[in-house]
Chain A
Amino acid sequence: MSDVPSAHPDSASGSAAPALVSDQEREELRRQGILLTKMEDLYNWGRSNSVWPLNFGLACCAIEMIAASMARFDISRFGSEVYRPSPRQADLLIVSGTVTKKMAPQVIRLWNQMPEPKYCIAMGACAISGGPFKQGYNVLKGIDRFIPVDIYIPGCPPRPEALLNGLIALQEKIRGQHLTGPNAPRHLRADDRCEYPVPEFGAHDLEPPANPEVFQPPTIVRTEK
């Protein structure tokens, strides 16, 4: 158990109470075979090192996602090689490619079916904003219109290294979270909503075209000069 990470700098500085045990004392205890850590660190360590992605490819980025799991890039170095075909067993939804309006309800349904704790990576320009296909009549302008996204990876498609970088960023984000307070993971907060509404197919567009609880369109502040 010697590879339990020390407290993350964010979490150490963020806690209000002064540390009861100094790092030196903790290190001394560890040499004696006594592991002293915080529940929070242990919980975050466990969560961050076994992020199992959903085996879910949408478009071009999915090929690079597969390439990331192959021998050269070897995503298993980060504990994420276990691609699960079922959303019930997965922790991470990598939205790898263009989300069309026809596909969006299915993506949201998959997200609803995943158990907490769960994370979402928007991989590639299309998943972020519609990308090159943004002006298409059947293209959703970003999956963050319907579900919360943790990490955005730009690129068209992002290289496998970029996906690994995004995964590391996600792990750092997980390690920086607290069990209580405003920086708690989504599922530990009281205001967490477990299910996100699934839009329906309308006569011209999805109904509704976005979930206002998750997404507000950015607006421009016009400066009078």
Chain B
Amino acid sequence: MSLFPAPSPSGVSVRPVNDEFHGDLLEISMGPHHPSTHGVFRMQVTLDGETIVKLKPVFGYLHRNHEKLGENTTYLASMPYTDRLDYLNSMTNNWAYAIAVEKLAGQPVPERAEYLRIILAELTRLLNHTCLAGFLLQDSGAMGTPLMYAFREREKILELFEALSGSRMMCNFQRFGGCRVDASPAWLAAAQGVVDAYGSFLDEFEALLTGNEILMARTQGTGVLTPQLAINASVTGPLLRATGVDYDIRKVDAYGLYSRFNFRVPLGAHGDTYDRYMIRILEMRESIKILQQALRELPAGPVMDPKAKLRGFRPKAGEAYGRIEGPKGEIGFYLISDGSPNPYRYRVRPPSFVNLTILEDMCLGQTIADAVIILGSVDIVLGEVDR
């Protein structure tokens, strides 16, 4: 038997047994308090030297009973709770929930509201991907600087959100049948300014990072995910597209008015951490295109369907599953109504929770330091993983 066994068919070399030459396996518990786990996530890792031979994620440290609370309150009262699911992207969470309820009740949405939703969702995507890139670089050892750049841009977008909805993070903006308030011309001009300047920020960010030799050495070839496994494990979002699978719900479902917009879906070729970083940068470029188009073509009109009912909202008995392409993947809401003011069943399909299914497969055979950046590239938010 050779000292180093041949790689397994999946390309992973795992040495699960310990002989007298290799010494004992080391079991460590990373988290729930760990600076690189993006919150209270925990990984039960077994190491052979520095190599990971087993990794079990442990959840539930931020299990806030979102679904139970949603079943005990009215449909509208769950809207602010959705803000706190994935607390970086409250606008897309709102939208996913609104879409599910609109499907349940057969509620139409006016055109201007659809445009406004697209603008806010794409701004959210910019915000999320920028922060993710900052955190990813923080995890790979670039302490401070990339995150400072990312948060500088985040503040600009948060200012827009605050001006529109009154809150920086917890926007609570979408309603069933439209949006809560309309955007003023001054707000649209400010948004145009942010969008116009974003491309040059990305250029600056990329000049610092994309061609950086250290970043490439750390991320290229680490955490490789195959498309077959990704599909079978229900991986969605940038993580899936980095493996080369063309599946973007904005294109597939064409929800909202995305069919009117001209944008491309960037695809990766290797499925490694670097591709996942690049996919996000390229998606931001596409988001800027969508934003430019939406701001240019924004029609006049109401932002709320005049027949929409918010207070005393009671959809007919039935069920609906509504989903959108959130920045982290498919975020969906599954609602069952029994005709009462509260949903009978309220279920969130959390993208990053499901994406963590393949964390062990990506980490096996890698070093413990790579597990940190692989986790960083999955892009999790614990509010949504544990709910």
A–B direct contact (CB < 8 Å): yes
| Chain A contacts to B: CB under 8 angstroms | 55-60, 62-64, 66-67, 70-72, 85, 87, 97-98, 100, 102-103, 106, 110, 132-133, 135-139, 156-157, 159
Q: How far is the CA of A59 from the CA of B35 in the complex (A)?
A: 13
Residues of A within 8 A of B170 (CB): 60, 156-157
B324 at the binding interface (Cβ < 8 Å): no
Residue among B81, B87, B88 having the largest count of chain A Cβ atoms under 10 Å: B87
Asked if A58 meets B40 with Cβ closer than 8 Å, knowing A103-B32, A138-B64, the reply is yes
Given A58-B39, A60-B383, A85-B35, answer yes or no on A71-B148 (Cβ-Cβ < 8 Å).
yes
Interface presence of B60 (CB below 8 A): yes
Measured between alpha carbons, how far is A57 from B36 in the docked complex, in Å? 11
A and B contact pairs by CB, cutoff 8 A, 26 listed? A55-B35, A57-B40, A58-B62, A59-B62, A59-B64, A59-B87, A59-B382, A60-B84, A64-B169, A70-B151, A70-B152, A72-B155, A87-B33, A100-B61, A100-B62, A100-B63, A100-B386, A132-B84, A135-B72, A136-B65, A136-B68, A137-B65, A138-B63, A138-B65, A156-B170, A157-B169
Q: Is the beta-carbon distance between A103 and B61 smaller than 8 angstroms?
A: yes
| Distance of B40 from chain A, by nearest CB (Å) | 6
B345 at the interface (CB under 8 A from A): no
CA A72 to CA B158, docked complex, whole Å? 13
Q: Choose among B32, B34, B147 the residue that contacts A70 (Cβ–Cβ < 8 A).
A: B147
**Known pairs A64-B169, A98-B64, A106-B61. 7 more at Cβ < 8 A?**
A100-B386, A103-B61, A133-B64, A133-B65, A136-B69, A138-B64, A159-B168
Q: Shortest Cβ distance from A184 into chain B, in angstroms? A: 30
CA distance A157 to B151 in the complex (A): 17
Contact A63 B68 (CB under 8 A): no
Residue of B nearest to A137 (CB): B65
Cβ–Cβ contact A102 & B60, under 8 A: yes
**A103 touching B69 by the CB < 8 A rule?**
no
A106 to B34: give the CA distance in the assembly, Å. Answer: 12
- Residues on A with C-beta less than 8 A from B33 are 56, 87, 106, 110
- The 0/1 profile, CB within 8 Å of A marked 1, for residues 63-79 of chain B is 11100110010000000
Contact A102 B151 (CB under 8 A): no
B80 at the interface (CB under 8 A from A): yes
Instruction: Kindly state the separation between the CA atoms of A62 and B135 in the bound complex, as whole angstroms.
Output: 13
Which residues of chain A are near B39, meaning CB under 8 Å?
57-59, 62
Query: For the side of the interface on B, what is the size category?
Result: 20 to 34
Given the complex, which residues of B lie within 8 Å of A63, measured CB to CB? 87-88, 169
Task: Please provide the chain B residues from 345 to 387 with a CB less than 8 Å away from any CB of chain A in the complex.
Answer: 382-383, 386
B69 near A97 with CB under 8 A, answer: no
B 141-158 binary contact with A (CB < 8 Å = 1; else 0): 000000110011011000
Bound Cα distance from A149 to B39, whole angstroms? 21
Chain A residue at minimal CB-CB distance from B34: A85
Enumerate chain B residues within 8 angstroms of A64, measured Cβ to Cβ.
Answer: 168-169
- Taken residue by residue from 29 to 71, chain B's Cβ proximity to chain A (1 for < 8 Å, 0 otherwise) reads as 0001111000110000000000000000000111111001100
- CB B132 to nearest CB in A, in angstroms, measures 12
Cβ contact within 8 Å between B35 and A135: no
Q: How far is the CB of B264 from chain A (nearest CB, A)?
A: 30
Contacts of A138 in B (CB 8 A): 60, 63-65
Residues of A within 8 A of B84 (CB): 59-60, 132
> How far, in whole Å, are A111 and B308 apart by their CA atoms in the complex?
50
A60→B65 contact, CB < 8 A: no
A59 and B63 in contact (CB under 8 A), knowing A67-B154, A70-B152? no
CB distance from B131 to the nearest CB of A (A): 8
- Set of chain A residues within 8 Å of B382, measured between Cβ atoms: 59
Is A60 touching B87 in the complex (CB atoms < 8 A)? yes
Measured CB to CB, the closest approach of chain B to A101, in angstroms, equals 9
Alpha-carbon distance A102/B170, docked complex (angstroms): 25
Shortest Cβ gap from B317 to chain A (Å): 26
Pairs of residues from A and B, 9 with the lowest C-beta to C-beta distance, nearest first:
A136-B65, A60-B87, A70-B151, A85-B35, A103-B61, A133-B64, A55-B35, A138-B63, A102-B60
Q: Which of B148-189 contact A (CB under 8 A)?
A: 148, 151-152, 154-155, 168-170
Q: Which of A102, A110, A135 sits near B63, CB closer than 8 Å? A: A102
Q: Say yes or no: A100 contacts B64, CB within 8 Å.
A: yes
Residue on B nearest A101 in the bound complex, by CB: B63
